[in-house]
């Protein structure tokens, strides 16, 4: 006789025996039943309301899983942090920075009162000049102690000072810049808003107080002179001040002394000293500090021995050992418009070596 769970005809042929059915692996647990979209009415409900056998249940609105909730929280935190950092960012965006002024420059040649002294021994030249105690190269541009200001941190002040020093080194000491072969080392440190003025000055130089290459850097005419000693003597100071909550300014006052001889001359040819005093005012906003570039507000250059008859705006053409300046300093027209041009001074005899 068949068991209570078997069909009257017995187990169909080919079906698993022992009362096992093919759906035994499906587990109808409580969560499965509750999730079903169809629900059977009870017999009492069907008798009372003549309702159909089943009814459709509204879909369950499950809450977020733990992983999804954590992901949402992380996104919210990241978004909030981005907004906070945008508000607190110590650097201004270029869209909100104030306009950058063009560089104002004055280049004053200094004419000697007599023949330029010289000797083949460059060490003796320096030793008998006011530059005897000057340091060599970048050592002559020491950084002052950097202290935070009301609106700028110690590191930002250091960045302003080191960028100004780097500009002085590249524009006054790099041999390839001094000989007129390169300008890119200097150009790379200039604020993007001043690059048009810089490029125009080198493509169309003019002694108009705006477009003199020698206002940006020191460079000699390589067809006339060359360095007799690459050890340039330097002395000067850097000072930094906060002009407002968004601006730092660095004032640089330095004297550079070069030993020069005629281009192509041998080492036994007499050399002479050439002195350049540079007073530069650098300006840094927060964007400049971020990019490690600078705005140059003003540049005053006094250089000699030079002849006032020579054009000193594009390249410096120093008078060398034994040479004298032709004529007297040219006159300056006080009625001329624009920046002062045609300026020329006299090189004090005490600024030259004494043998």
The pLDDT tens digits of the residues spanning 204-221 come to 999 999 999 999 999 999
pTM of the shown model: 0.73
**Helical residues (DSSP H) of the chain, grouped into ranges:** 30-35, 43-49, 66-88, 122-127, 154-172, 175-178, 184-187, 195-203, 213-216, 286-291
pLDDT value for 66: 74
Q: Which of 271, 275, 278 is nearest to 305 (CA)?
A: 275
The mean predicted confidence, pLDDT, of the chain is 84
Q: From the centroid of its chain, how far is CA 31?
A: 63
Cα–Cα dist 162/178, whole Å: 21
Our measurement of the distance from residue 67's CA atom to the centroid of its chain's CA atoms, rounded to an integer in Å, reads 43
Report CA torsion sign: 233, 175, 353, 348: negative
DSSP state of 269: S
Q: pLDDT confidence of 70, banded at 50, 70, 90?
A: confident
Instruction: For residues 122 and 228, give the distance between their C-alpha atoms in angstroms, rounded to a whole number.
Output: 7
pLDDT per residue as tens digits for the range 186-196 = 999 999 999 99
Residue 5 has pLDDT above 70, yes or no: no
Cβ count within 10 A of residue 184: 9
pLDDT of 81 strictly over 80: no
Contact predicate 217/171, CB 8 Å:
yes
> Using CA atoms, how far apart are residues 256 and 305, in angstroms rounded to an integer?
13
Residues 112-137 pLDDT 10s: 999 999 999 999 999 999 999 999 99
pLDDT band of residue 328 (cuts 50, 70, 90) is low
Structure tokens at 68: 């999804």
Q: Phi and psi (nearest 5°) for 191? A: -50, 140
Q: What is the pLDDT of residues 289-327, one digit of tens each?
A: 999 999 999 999 999 999 988 889 999 999 999 999 986
DSSP 45-93: HHHHH---SEEEPPPP-PPPPHHHHHHHHHHHHHHHHHHHHHHH-SS--
């Amino acid at each position: 006789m068949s068991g209570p769970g078997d069909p009257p005809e017995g187990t169909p042929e080919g079906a698993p025996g022992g009362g096992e059915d093919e759906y035994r692996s499906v587990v109808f647990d409580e969560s499965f039943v509750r999730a079903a979209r169809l629900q059977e009415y009870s017999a009492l409900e069907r008798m009372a309301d003549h309702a159909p056998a089943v009814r459709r249940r509204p879909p369950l609105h499950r809450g977020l899983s733990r992983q999804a909730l954590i992901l949402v929280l992380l996104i919210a935190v990241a978004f909030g942090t981005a907004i906070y950092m945008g508000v607190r960012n110590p650097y201004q965006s270029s869209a909100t920075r104030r306009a950058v002024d063009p560089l104002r420059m004055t280049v004053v040649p200094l004419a000697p009162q007599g023949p330029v002294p010289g000797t083949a021994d460059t060490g003796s030249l320096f030793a008998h000049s006011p530059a005897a105690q000057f340091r060599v190269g970048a050592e002559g541009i020491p950084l002052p102690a950097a202290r935070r200001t009301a609106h700028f941190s110690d590191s930002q002040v250091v960045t302003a000072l080191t960028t100004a020093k780097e500009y002085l080194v590249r524009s006054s000491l790099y041999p390839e810049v001094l000989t007129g072969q390169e300008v890119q080392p200097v150009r790379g440190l200039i604020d993007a808003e001043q690059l048009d003025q810089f490029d125009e000055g080198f493509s169309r130089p003019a002694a108009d107080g705006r477009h003199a290459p020698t206002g940006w850097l020191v460079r000699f005419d390589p067809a006339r002179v060359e360095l007799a000693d690459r050890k340039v003597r330097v002395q000067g100071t850097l000072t930094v001040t906060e002009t407002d909550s968004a601006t730092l300014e660095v004032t640089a006052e330095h004297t550079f002394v070069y030993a020069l001889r005629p281009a192509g001359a041998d080492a036994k040819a007499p050399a002479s000293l050439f002195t350049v005093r540079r007073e530069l005012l650098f300006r840094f906003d927060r964007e400049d500090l971020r990019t490690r570039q600078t705005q140059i507000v003003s540049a005053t250059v006094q250089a000699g021995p030079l002849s006032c008859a020579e054009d000193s705006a594009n390249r410096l053409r120093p008078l060398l050992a034994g040479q004298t300046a032709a004529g007297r300093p040219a006159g300056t027209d006080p009625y001329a418009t624009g920046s002062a041009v045609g300026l020329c001074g006299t090189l004090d005899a005490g600024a030259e070596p004494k043998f």
